[in-house]
Structure 1
Amino acid sequence: MLAAASGLAVVAAHPPLGWWWTSFLAPVLLLAAIDVDAADAADRERRPRAFRLGLLMGLATFLPMLSWLVLPAGFVGWALLSAVQAGFFGLLALAVRPWLRSRWLPLIVAVAWTGVDAWRAIWPLNGFEWGAIAYAHVEGSWLLPVARITGGRGITFFVVLVGAAGYAVARTTLAGLRAREEGPVEYAVTPARAPVAVLLGALLLSVLVTIEPPASSGSLDVLAVQGNDIRHWEEDVTDASFRITSQLRDQTVAATAGGPPPDLTVWPEASIDTDPFSDRGAHFLPLLEEAASSSRHLLAGMNIDGPDPRTGFWRTQLLVDTDARAVGRYDKRRVVPFGEYIPMRTYLEWFPPLRQIPRDILPHPEPHVVTVDDVPVAVLICFETLFQDINRTNVLAGDEPAQLIVTATTDASYGESAQPDQHLAQSRLRAVETGRWVVHAALSGASAFVDPHGGVEQVTDLFTQATIRRQVPLVTGTTPYLLVGDVVGWITRVGVLGLLGFPLWSRLRRRPDVRESVEVDG
């Protein structure tokens, strides 16, 4: 079951295990599975069998990796999302199968894999690029600084290029040794010189293509407050939302007592569950006011009613001053389908599980920032950390680049699973891409400060009340990735479409008597 082993190698590379080096094995094992199967299959069976192998690899990746989804979405939601994501890897296997004997195989596999991930980031609906190889490399990998130049997809590209080149070296060498009847061994391994050159070149380039993050200039005193200790799947708490907000207030006041107030206090996503400026949520307002008086600025996560409160609301990080007056606001831009809004609600709301989402979160259409003491601050809410384009455009949204990034999230729905660590890995990669510090504030944990090298400080435990505080350095410079954007993603999206279309184009220009399968020799 080489294909399943490939998927498990991807899983092992991510939290909770975090064995990033196993990601290099994933393309090796998938290529071996396709290659072995192609040798035994009839010509017209190779394409569907390759797709099934890729699908199996994807299921072996996403079923265990997304197992935390069972708690909030049930087995059906977990299985459906895993199957959709796995389908992309079926297409990946379909794209690379014709090129198994090509000298360009390593490059083709790297383009196809990276392109598939890039498509997952934008389609279907709002996209869901969870489990991308790049996120596994935030803990100790020499490849991590590549993200400052190419974005995270450059890491994925290099990992797959190295793995595929290693497979090509091994396969070519073994084939040469089997075919050798007499003569020096060197003659048998000569065909492996090209993939060896690709392998060594990729490794060398991945080491050389690194730069240091921009220098810092000044700092901001930031306090992040984590107030949710309710394990809601174990205990039934009356008025849990008010209790959580009260605990956030208490933690904020206690953390600031007897000392200078912080420049910025961060309350995570949905810290105030009901619009405090509405009649329904008016009892939350005194809590907000008391906490605000303890800090020079408070960036509080809350839900604010939309034009029709019955049907929609904004998921907001509201910046208030010491008197709890609003001085800035960030509204979530990319919302989660079937979790935060129902696509085609008119046709789908009859389905009983979807009735748990009676209102849609309204997405903000444009990048925007908040400003704290003349310091532009980029904000990401929850799964927006998954989208490098959201992060980049928010950083660049003001008159000058944001000098700090705040990630506000609530991961309480996923229990004591690997999801919070997988989520924190996304903030770590966003910090490296932009060369900025990230304040990762999670309502139930894990919260942390992330430095521009992807390192973490003051990481909190799950489902505990906690505060973390430090002078956070500010960065005004830019990285190459900030300047040029996701070039790797767009090139590989086009590339994988070309690879998928190649067999059809080839058949159209062949004579009818030529066999149906397409094998490319290089």
Structure 2
Amino acid sequence: MYRWPVRSIVLAVASGLLLPFCFPKFDIGLLAWVALIPLHLALDSPSKWRAFRLGWLSGTIGFTGIMAWVVTAMHTYGKVPLLVAYAVLLLLTSYLGLFVALYSAGYVWFRSLIPRYGLFVAPCLWVTLELARTYLFSGLPWSLLGYSQYRQLDVIQIADHLGVYGVSFLLVLVNVAIAELIAWLMPLFRGFVPARLPWELVTTAAILLGLSWAYSTSLIVGEGFQTPKTSLRVGVVQPNVDQSIKWDPAHRDDTLLRYDRLTDTLGGGADLVVWPEAATPFFFEREPEYQLRVLAIANRASAPLLFGSPAVRFDNERRPYLLNSAYLVAPGGTLLGRYDKQHLVPFGEYIPLKSSLLFFLDKLVEGIGDFQAGPGPTVFSFMPRQAQAAGEGDGGRPVKFGVLICYEVIFPDLVRRFAQNGAEFLVTITNDAWFGESSAPMQHFSMVVFRSVENHLAFARAANTGVSGFIDPFGRILDTSPIFTQTAMQAAVPVLQPHTFYSRHGDVFAYGCVLICAVLCLFGLFRTEGPEPDAIAATPV
């Protein structure tokens, strides 16, 4: 392979170009099972450093296609000059591409450490790096490879044990196995060097894929599509308030009238009404006139109202700070609870290192000032009007649910803590207006599917400009709204408290992959070093 560097580059670029097609808007999820094959063929024999560069090239191209919406957010809504927006996009995708670069270098290294069997650890390395991406520098686990399968319900149910990382593991294993099989079938890739059939790798991939399909199918046929014993009518409102006027005081009345009208179209039959993140363009706790108008809407709906609104608090020195909050109010005006967003969006809700290194930057999202993180997960409870189910209702028992605000829903461990605290269904509220008509709103929505599967909890989602909708506890999308439309929709949301393995134990599988990679890395560091693969290949016979 070292004799044809151009071919290696073409193959690496091919994988980079294929990756965006696996996710919305293109949404060709089945492509993810083969998209990484060209990259793995390009990594057939280069040195670790050459593999790193090929992986970086492939990953940067792939993430540029996936994250192209960053330009829309920065230029259209953040008022950043277009060239600067593209430069920031490239900087971000180059950073994300480093994870693919590290994977590629590790792939070559592991194969050299344990010839023939080192590749079994390659999916563990991919998962390890996805886990690192989830937490490093505040975390950006956007469009992990497993998310490409959000529509493949007959495969992804393993997430209730392994999380989204388990699906990523399976995808990478299948890609590696097929790449090795192709390399064996086409000796040209290895310079006509005789090779053994990689039957162990192919067999393992086929068995694990079959087990995943069998488990997923048995679950959704046996439980997932049956009528739930208990459910609630949840209504979500999508007001489609333009981001450019959202915080303009002159449009407050029009905004509230829009919410009032859309809530009224739900017909008063909902057990819970949900408005999006930052629905009120004012401080709910500090604007008595507008507060009364919101409570009046809840009264007319005859149901608890959940909505987003900023809150002001003061530290020990009486300095004010802001919280991105969700309030739950009863029809009679009683405040049933407030949740403060824990995981804030860097450069959207606050500027990291603003007091020192990044003092010259401002937030990309226009509106009010910087926010601070809330204390932790809060589970709300309320008394439903009546359980809408095929059998008996739940009597007078209150129902518990958790709320995720915007970006928080892409963090698996954060969501599972709500399930661990007793939530029986989940709600996410967001304002995706600053994504524009890009692929991001549907990418954001697709990740919610996995949070449902991981915890076997239904989700209701209210987004200012869409996508709003409902997902059942096994990841089936019950209903969605078009983006940039005004609408109100409602659905029967199953109420469960299943306590899946994932909701109880979290990312045990992912950390197991980290441990396996750590052991192999230690083995590699302490063994006697040999020459790089290129040096071996170049040695005359």
**Range 306-315 or range 359-368, more displaced:** 306-315
The code of the aligned residue for 2:273 comes to T
The equivalences for 1:465-476 within 5 A come to 465-476=486-497
Give 1:241 deviation, angstroms.
5.5
Indicate the residue corresponding to 1:115 in structure 2. 128
C-alpha distance in 2 between matches for 1:302 and 1:461: 24
**More deviation, 449-458/241-250:** 241-250
Query: Judging changes above 3 Å, is the alpha-carbon distance between structure 1 residues 473 and 62 closer, same or farther for their aligned structure 2 residues?
Result: same
Distance change >3 Å, CA 518–CA 113, structure 1 → 2 = farther
Q: Does the 8 A contact of 1:23 with 1:159 survive in 2? A: yes
Q: Does 1:157 align with 2:169?
A: yes
Give the counterpart letter for 1:380 in structure 2: L
Is the Cα contact below 8 Å between 2:351 and 2:361 reproduced in 1? no
- 2:479 is matched with 458
Residue among 251, 274, 283 paired with 1:266:
274
- Report matched runs for 1:27-42 at 5 Å: 27-35=36-44, 38=46
Q: Structure 1 360/428 Cα, relative in aligned 2: closer, same or farther at 3 Å?
A: same
Unpaired runs of at least 5, structure 1: 39-45, 182-187
C-alpha distance in structure 2 between counterparts of 1:177 and 1:431, whole Å: 42
1:190 Cα deviation after fit:
5.5
Summarize the alignment of residues 32-181 of structure 1 with structure 2, pairs less than 5 Å apart: 32-35=41-44, 38=46, 46-73=47-74, 74-100=85-111, 102-124=115-137, 126-140=138-152, 142-175=154-187
Query: Residue 386 in 1 paired to residue 387 in 2?
Result: no
Letter in 2 for 1:305: V
Q: Does 1:363 align with 2:373?
A: yes
For 1:142-291, what aligned pairs fall within 5 Å after superposition?
A: 142-175=154-187, 191-210=197-216, 211-212=219-220, 216-230=228-242, 232=244, 239-240=250-251, 243-256=254-267, 260-278=268-286, 281-291=287-297
Q: Residue 455 and residue 516 in structure 1: after superposition, are their counterparts in 2 closer, same or farther (change >3 A)? A: closer
Count how many residue pairs are aligned between Structure 1 and Structure 2.
491
Deviates more, 1:453-462 or 1:241-250: 241-250
Secondary structure of the equivalent of 1:123?
helix
Name which of 367, 371, 382 aligns with 1:372: 382
Q: Secondary structure at the match of 2:25?
A: coil
Equivalent residue, structure 2, for 1:422: 443
**Residue deviations 1:11-45 (CA, integer Å, cap 9, x gap):** 11100111111111233122112226x1xxxxxxx
Q: What is the rounded CA distance, in whole Å, between the counterparts of 1:295 and 1:439 in structure 2?
A: 19
State the one-letter code of the partner of 1:367.
P
**Cα distance between partner residues in 1 of 2:535 and 2:213:** 34
Q: Secondary structure at the match of 2:278?
A: coil
AA aligned to 1:275 is: F
1:185 corresponds in structure 2 to none
Report the secondary structure of 1:370's partner residue: strand
Q: Distance in 2 between matches of 1:364 and 1:238?
A: 26
Q: Against the structure 1 CA distance between its residues 269 and 310, is the aligned structure 2 distance closer, same or farther, given a 3 Å change threshold?
A: farther
TM-score, structure 2 normalization = 0.83
Query: Cα deviations across residues 432-488 of structure 1 (Å, max 9, x unaligned)?
Result: 111121101111111111112322233111111110112222112232322332112
Distance 1:310 1:271 in 2: 25
- Aligned residue number for residue 306 of structure 1: 313
Alpha-carbon shift at residue 242 of structure 1 (Å): 5.2
Paired amino acid for 1:359: G
Fraction of identical pairs, as percent: 27
Q: 1:287 to 1:349 in 2, by over 3 A?
A: farther
3-state DSSP of counterpart to 1:346: coil
For 1:10, the equivalent position in structure 2 comes to 19
| 1:329 matches 2:341 | no
TM-score (norm 1): 0.86
C-alpha RMSD over aligned residues: 2.9
Q: 2:360 aligns with which of 344, 351, 368?
A: 351
**Do the aligned residues in 2 keep the contact of 1:226 with 1:467 (CA within 8 Å)?**
yes
CA distance in 2, matches of 1:23, 1:330: 37
Alignment check: 8 A CA contact 2:466 2:485 kept: yes
Over 3 Å counting, the alpha-carbon distance change for 1:148 and 1:255 in structure 2 is same
